[in-house]
Every structure is written in structure tokens, then in C-alpha cells.
């Protein structure tokens, strides 16, 4: 199994331990019957000893443009859920139970990680509405009305409109809407500005708060919130640990809040 990098989320995947089934069962029994200290240590060892299982599962979800660090973190959440809910009394291998749990967590992440999060019920309504629209278009030989689509899926027209609008991809403010060859009009040019004095005063205060941050704090906030990088990616670019990035980022945000 090949990855673009050996390290994921600060974990050297080449050095991950591997547990056999007897070791896994022993740890799971200790989690159930041991003392509080033993249970905690066994749980930690069980998680670390099954991280390769997470790697094997996320391999199936690569090639979708998703960040491997993010997939790995989500997979680990699924692993932890599997460990915490596994019944050691069952005569099944842990991986038989763990793999579906990890895959389920990854699928939920991919389903919900769009630019705008939309509820599953609304997505289902949108899917049925689009399917009904296609069928009605063929049947009526014209584009159906919202009322006709709503009747076809047995819901109200307001729900159809909201569902279809919810799944439309967001448009960038810099998306061009008109050009005559010389001047280009963008979406942001068509958006009204209803700001009042309070808005621009707060903007001035925010800029003043930013000026008081160190260069490293400014760079980390820029990489995190303007370029959309993960803390692990920022740590690699700057040359510090992910924990340091997290601490500096939190401190910078708290500083801005105090100034405002």
C-alpha cells in the first residue's frame, strides 16, 4: 500500500505496531475486566495496534480529492467507536466488526463534508424531486412546474424548492456574470451593501487586533483560514509540531477576541 507520504497526522505509519487476534482479545478482555488504569492502558494499546486497519480502509476512499490526514482522523474515530462498542463475548474477529464501523464513519464524513452541510432528509427530497422532474419532462414533453413535482413525490412545493436550492453548489463572489470584452461584472458587484457604521467600526477594530499579532500568528491564521490548510499541513510548512500550531492558533484567536 503506497501513500504520498509516510506520516499522517504526525503518526509514522511505517512504524505502526500490529496486533494478532490473541493480543487483541487479551486487550479487549482487560478493557472489560481490568482496573481503571488497566482499562485505560489497554484501550490506548488497542487503538494504536489497529491504526493499520484504518490505513487499509481509507485506501478505498482515496482518489476523491480528500485530504489523507482528514480521512485518517475520521477513520480513527470509527476505530475508537468500534473498540468501545465491541462485545468480546461474540465469536467474531475484531476486524470483522471494526472495518464496517470505520467505513461507515468515512462515508458519513464524505456525505456531510460538502461546502454547505445539508441534512440527509433534505438530500433525499432533492433526489426524489430531480428524479420526478426527469420522468415528468419525458411524460409531459415539457419542463414540469414545482407544483407538479411536489404532487409526484407527495410533498409540498416549499419543501421541493428548499431541497433543490440546498444542493446547488455555492457560487464564488468572484464568478463573472457578464463581460463586454473590456469590463467584467462579478457576482460581488451585484450584492448590495447594507452595512452600517457599526459594521465598519468593527472592521477597523478587527484590523487593529490583527496588527498586534506576531508574524507567526498571522501566518498560521492565514494558512488555516484563508488557504484552508489543516493544522498538520501548516505544521509541515512552518516546521513545528501540530500541537504547537494548535496552541498558537488558539492563542491568536483568543487575543483577537479580547481586543474586540
pLDDT at residue 12 tops 70: no
For the chain, percent of residues with pLDDT exceeding 90: 12
Could you say which of 3.40.1160.10, 2.130.10.10, 3.40.50.720, 1.20.120.1810 is the CATH number of the domain covering 7-112? Answer: 1.20.120.1810
The CA distance from 106 to 213, in Å, is 37
Question: Do 224 and 234 meet the contact criterion of CB atoms below 8 Å apart?
Answer: yes
Fold equal for 7-112 and 212-259 = no
The upper half-sphere exposure of residue 153, i.e. CA atoms within 13 Å in the direction of its Cβ, equals 27
Specify the range with the lowest mean pLDDT, choosing from 15-19, 51-55, 151-155, 176-180: 176-180
The whole-number average pLDDT for the span 26-43 is 91
Fold of the domain built from segment(s) 120-166:
Arc Repressor Mutant, subunit A (1.10.10)
Give the helix/strand (H/E) hosting 12. Answer: strand 11-12
Better pLDDT: 14 or 225: 225
pLDDT in tens, 57-91: 888 777 666 777 888 888 899 999 999 988 888 77
pLDDT in tens, 137-160: 878 888 888 889 999 999 888 888
CATH code reported for the domain at 212-259: 1.10.10.10
Output the pTM of the full model. Answer: 0.43
The CA distance from 42 to 35, in Å, is 10
Amino acid at each position: 500500500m503506497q501513500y504520498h507520504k509516510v506520516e499522517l497526522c504526525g503518526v509514522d505509519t511505517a512504524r505502526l505496531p500490529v496486533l494478532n487476534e490473541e493480543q487483541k482479545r487479551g486487550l479487549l478482555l482487560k478493557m472489560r475486566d481490568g482496573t481503571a488504569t488497566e482499562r485505560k492502558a489497554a484501550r490506548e494499546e488497542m487503538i494504536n495496534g489497529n491504526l493499520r486497519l484504518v490505513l487499509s480502509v481509507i485506501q478505498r476512499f482515496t482518489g476523491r480529492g480528500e485530504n489523507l490526514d482528514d480521512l485518517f482522523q475520521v477513520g480513527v474515530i470509527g476505530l475508537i467507536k468500534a473498540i468501545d462498542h465491541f462485545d468480546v463475548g461474540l465469536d467474531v474477529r475484531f476486524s470483522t466488526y471494526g472495518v464496517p464501523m470505520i467505513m461507515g464513519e468515512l462515508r458519513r464524513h464524505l456525505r456531510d463534508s460538502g461546502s454547505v452541510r445539508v441534512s440527509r432528509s433534505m438530500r433525499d427530497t432533492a433526489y426524489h424531486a430531480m428524479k420526478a422532474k426527469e420522468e415528468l419532462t419525458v411524460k409531459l414533453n415539457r419542463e414540469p412546474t414545482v407544483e407538479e413535482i411536489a404532487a409526484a413525490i407527495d410533498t409540498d412545493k416549499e419543501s421541493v424548492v428548499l431541497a433543490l436550492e440546498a444542493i446547488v453548489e455555492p457560487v464564488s463572489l468572484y464568478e463573472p456574470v457578464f463581460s463586454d470584452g473590456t469590463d467584467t461584472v462579478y457576482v460581488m458587484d451585484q450584492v448590495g451593501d447594507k452595512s452600517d457604521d457599526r459594521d465598519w467600526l468593527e472592521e477597523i477594530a478587527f484590523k487593529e487586533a490583527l496588527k498586534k499579532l506576531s508574524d507567526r500568528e498571522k501566518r498560521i491564521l492565514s494558512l488555516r483560514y484563508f488557504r484552508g490548510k489543516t493544522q498538520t499541513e501548516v505544521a509541515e510548512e512552518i516546521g513545528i509540531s501540530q500541537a504547537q500550531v494548535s496552541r498558537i492558533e488558539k492563542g491568536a484567536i483568543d487575543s483577537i477576541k479580547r481586543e474586540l
